[in-house]
Amino acid sequence: MSRSALVGNVIAMLEDAGFRVSDRCAIRPRSFDIAARRGEDLILVKILRNIDAFTAESGAEMRRIGAYLNGTPLVIGLRTRDEKLQPEVVYFRHGVPVLSPDTATDLFVEKIPPLIYAAPGGLYVSIDSEILADKREEKGWSLGQLASELGVSRRTVSKYEDGMDASIEVAAQLEELFDTSLTSPVSVLEEETPRQEEEVDPEQPDVDGDRQVVTVLNRVGYEVHPTVRAPFQAVSQDGDQQQDVILVGHSKFNETAEKRARLMSSVGEVARTHSVYFVNSTNRDAVGTTALIERDEASNISHAEEFKNLIRRRAREELA
C-alpha cells in the first residue's frame, strides 16, 4: 500500500469513527500529518508505512505541541524494518504511542482499547493489582504459593500486587489460575499512557525567528513557543491564561503563505484555537479563520484584548 493510500484510509477511518479531521499537512517538513477531534479528544497523527522513519525530532515536537494544545500525539503505521506491527498492540517510538491501522480501528471505531504494549524484552499488559491481591487471598494462597504456581520469585509476585506490569504469558497464567480477567487497557489518549523508552522531555527550540513578531506577542502578554516541523511557526500562549493558545505564522504574503495560512485555519478549527499570520502587506483580512495582520499594524497593538478581538473579528468577517 502506498503512503498516500494509507493516509486516505486513516482519514476515512477517523471520519467513520466520528472525528472531525483537519486538512492534510502537505507542507514539508511536517511533524504530524493531520489533527483530528472527537468530543474532548484531540489527536495529532503521523501516518507512516515504516515507523522507523519517525525521528526523535518529530517525536519531541509532537509531544510539545500536544502539551500546548491539550492533545495526544499518535503514530499510525504498518511495519518496522523487520516486521509488521501486530494488531491489538501499542508500540512506542520516541515517547509517542504507535498503532497499526487495525488497532486504531478497534480503538476508535469499535471502541475496543488495546490491552498489550510492546517494550524491550517482549509484550506486556497492565495487571489490576487490587483484583489480583483479592483473588489470591480469596483462594487462601500466600505470595510464595502463587509464586510457585507461576514459576517466579515471591518478590516478583509482590511487585505484581504493587502495580508492576506482567508479560502476556504471566498474565494468561494468572487469569487461568483465578478464572477472571485481570488486565487493564492501555490508555492511549490519557496522560498515564506508559512510556517504554527513556525519553527526556526536550527543551523547546530557541526563539531565533522573526524578532518583530516575537516582540509584538510578548508585548501583549503572550509566551512564544517556536516549532520547527509544524505547519505553523510558533504556538503562542497567553501568559495569564495558558489555555488561550494561538497558532502563529509569518512571512511575505504569497501563494505558499496562503496555503500555510489555510492549513493553519483547518488545524486551528479542529484544535479549537485561533490562528494568525503576520505579513508585510496584503489587502485581505484573513485566509479561512487565520487572521492576517500587517507588520506595521501589529507594531501599534499594545493590549492582549485588542489583539484577540482583532483576530476574532477578521476571522468572522472572512467567513461571512
Instruction: State the cell numbers at 95.
Output: 515517547
Q: For residue 63, which amino acid is it?
A: R
The pLDDT score that the predictor gives to residue 195 is: 47
The pLDDT score that the predictor gives to residue 240 is: 67
User: Inter-axis angle of helices 143-150 and 168-178, to 10 degrees?
Assistant: 120
The pLDDT score that the predictor gives to residue 304 is: 85
Q: Are 87 and 98 in contact, with CB atoms under 8 Å apart?
A: no
124-184: CATH class: mainly alpha
Could you count the other beta carbons within 10 Å of the beta carbon of residue 236? 28
Spell out the residues 6+ positions from residue 203 whose beta carbon is closer than 8 angstroms to its own: none
What DSSP state is assigned to residue 104?
H
Indicate whether this model's pTM tops 0.85.
Answer: yes
The pLDDT score that the predictor gives to residue 206 is: 52
The pLDDT score that the predictor gives to residue 319 is: 63
Q: For residue 198, which amino acid is it?
A: E
- The model's pLDDT over 198-215, given as tens digits with 9 standing for 90+, comes to 455 555 555 455 778 888
Q: Are 182 and 127 in contact, with CB atoms under 8 Å apart?
A: yes
CATH 3.40.1350.10, domain 3-114, yes or no: yes
pLDDT tens per residue across all 320 residues of the chain = 888 999 999 999 999 999 999 999 988 778 999 999 999 999 999 999 999 999 999 999 999 999 999 999 999 999 998 899 999 999 999 999 999 999 999 999 999 999 999 988 889 999 999 999 999 999 999 999 999 999 999 999 999 999 899 999 999 999 999 999 999 899 898 754 444 444 555 555 554 557 788 888 988 888 889 998 898 999 998 876 667 899 999 999 999 999 999 999 999 999 999 999 999 999 999 999 999 999 999 988 888 889 989 999 988 876 65
Beta bridge partners of 279: 294
The pLDDT score that the predictor gives to residue 170 is: 94
Q: Are 84 and 50 in contact, with CB atoms under 8 Å apart?
A: no
**Closest of 96, 3, 88 to residue 49, by C-alpha:** 3
Beta bridge partners of 79: 50, 84
What DSSP state is assigned to residue 52?
G
* Chain-centre distance for alpha carbon 171: 29
